Chains A and B, each alone.
Chain A
């Protein structure tokens, strides 16, 4: 393993001078070299498989899911594994993660909840990224009053701790998953706006932009074809890290009762509901949704850290 790593580094430095040098190959190699990117990528694959697979395979109807006979059923596989199955209690696996107060399988609901969280995170980040990038690129490129006005507005958004702003917005707009996703997106707009603005400012007078302008490209073409592609790397890193934040914040809204409404499964709401049974020792109602959130956030954070190391030009060529 050590020898292969050595030889790839060697290869890399040779390729950098050769015309066959590929940007994407370079990044892929850097990503593979970073342990945090590898672990993060692995976790993200697990997250994707669960979030896409569960809704496809399990035809879950939240409105009909109720089995009062199995209220607070313990996680039978886990308990069976620890105690060993005996004659009286045969080894069953109906509720691998146990059941909640309505006798609903926590495993099914965690799977569905992860899917909801992923969709919510992706939606919020996509919305924040697109709005923020447009604001940032336009104001950075044109500067002047457009820049002043939009940056003052961004400053106002930044004056609020982001979760608090999301809470206030959803309280007013009315609770629900859709409003929650939009609110989380609004709180994240400043990050992308500032990032893409600084990229636009640094690229505005670069030689390739001047060249494009001299052959008659209009502002729209320059922003879209020359500045945006060159701003992608930091935006990709930030979006990955932003996914983790968005998952936490939508779950926090759910926890406060402002997100997805019952009976539909959502990880934050499941955690909030687990509080009432926690004092009587029903740990599984809390533990599995909690682990699912940690898994998602950790995965995106690790991958984001790894991507940053791989894409950050300041670090490139330093090792």
Chain B
């Protein structure tokens, strides 16, 4: 167990190194002079020299990388080109919004997707199975930006049931503790704010939830089907157990392992989906920020957000792998 952990941790070091090099090179891959790309074609030679000096662009590339990675490891992600604001503090203030949205989406996808998958497998080829699996196929086939706009039009505009811009109505405010409104509002007893925050959360969360929901339902179903074909299930049935206990005790426990993995792996989909979802719903998280920075060609922000998301993705994959071995002893020896 310990050996596996150490090997797995060591393996992720070259990946993290490669990720950091690639993200670092992003800015240096800009065709032409990065300083001109940052400042625009009509920049004066003085300002080009100044920004080269400020960003250290006149040093050799490996040295630049070492300086940059040193700063990153100390939590300094550089400053934005627009306004020269420290990127790290900006991320801290925007990240809770993204966490609120993506965790709600993942939570909903899991608590809906797993039961749907189980039920589809148990009642294989029933109308429920057929409809839900076609629904799942439709779910993975509707791009986030199509579904989001459809929901905005139907629920937001035509029926006017739910708001579809931002996290709160303009007149509201919620005292900041964690930055996650649906946690902060009840903590401060601000129930009106809680309701408003929830209403704003519904449409973006549904939009972001669909693909993970579909994937989780499909994987749960196939994992359940595989387990239900095993000999020990036949044994359990043969010794006269009720079907409900066969499924709950014998099948479910063994089927949920791949499901846990796949739920963890959805985080990548969620984080890149958040860029689109936040853009559509003007949700003030890091995804919307990334989009705004792309439009403004603010490369330090693009670089920092890309690095952050890739880092989270690698660490979550690592965590899922480790969890897997904790739950399944067979993997360790393999």
Query: Which positions in A face B, CB cutoff 8 Å?
Result: 36, 152-153, 155-156, 159-165, 167-169, 171-174, 244, 248, 251-252, 255-258, 268, 271-272, 274-275, 278-279, 281, 283, 286-287, 290, 293-294, 297-298, 301-302, 305
Contacts and interface: CB of A to CB of B under 8 A. Distances in A.
Contacts of A162: 272
Contact of B137 (A248, A287, A302): A302
B334 to A, nearest CB: 16
B22 to A, nearest CB: 6
Interface string B295-334: 1010100100010011001100000000000000000000
B168 to A, nearest CB: 19
B294 A256 contact: yes
Nearest to B14: A152
B271 A161 contact: yes
B276 A156 contact: no
Given A163-B272, A164-B309, A252-B276, A279 B157 contact: yes
B214 to A, nearest CB: 11
Given A164-B272, A164-B306, A159 B15 contact: yes
Interface stretch (B60-68, B72-80, B107-115, B138-146): B138-146
B143 A251 contact: yes
Interface stretch (B148-156, B193-201, B231-239, B252-260): B148-156
Contacts of A164: 271-272, 275, 306, 309-310
B137 A298 contact: yes
Given A159-B15, A244-B141, A172 B29 contact: yes
7 contacts: A162-B272, A163-B273, A163-B275, A163-B276, A173-B31, A275-B149, A297-B141
B187 interface: no
B26 interface: yes
Contacts of A161: 268-269, 271-272, 309-310, 313
Given A161-B313, A257-B295, A278-B152, A168 B157 contact: no
B291 interface: yes
Nearest to B306: A168
A278 B281 CA distance: 13
B180 interface: no
A159 B310 CA distance: 6
Interface of B: 14-16, 18-19, 22-23, 26-27, 29-31, 137-138, 140-146, 149-150, 152-153, 157-158, 268-269, 271-273, 275-276, 279-280, 290-291, 294-295, 297, 299, 302, 306, 309-310, 313-314
Contact of B143 (A153, A160, A252, A257): A252
A251 B143 CA distance: 9
Nearest to A244: B141
Given A156-B19, A159-B314, A167 B290 contact: yes
Contacts of A153: 18
A283 B146 contact: no
A297 B27 CA distance: 33
Contact of A171 (B145, B153, B158, B294): B294
Nearest to B21: A156
Contacts of B280: 275
A252 B274 CA distance: 12
Contact of A172 (B18, B268, B299): B299
Given A275-B280, A283-B153, A290-B150, A159 B143 contact: no
Given A163-B275, A256-B294, 12 more contacts: A156-B18, A161-B269, A161-B271, A164-B272, A164-B310, A168-B302, A171-B297, A251-B143, A252-B276, A274-B149, A278-B149, A283-B153
Contact of B146 (A169, A275, A293): A293
Given A164-B275, A275-B149, A159 B19 contact: yes
Given A244-B141, A256-B294, A257-B295, A172 B27 contact: yes
B18 A256 contact: no
A152 B21 CA distance: 13
Nearest to B27: A172
Contacts of B279: 256
A271 B313 CA distance: 29
A286 B153 contact: yes
A160 B157 contact: no
A55 B4 CA distance: 57
Nearest to A156: B18
A286 B302 contact: no
Contacts of B314: 159
Contacts of B15: 152, 155-156, 159
A286 B271 CA distance: 25
B158 A281 contact: yes
A53 to B, nearest CB: 23
Given A164-B309, A279-B157, A156 B272 contact: no
Contacts of A283: 153
B75 to A, nearest CB: 21
A161 to B, nearest CB: 4
Q: Which of B19, B137, B272 has the most CB of A within 10 A?
A: B272
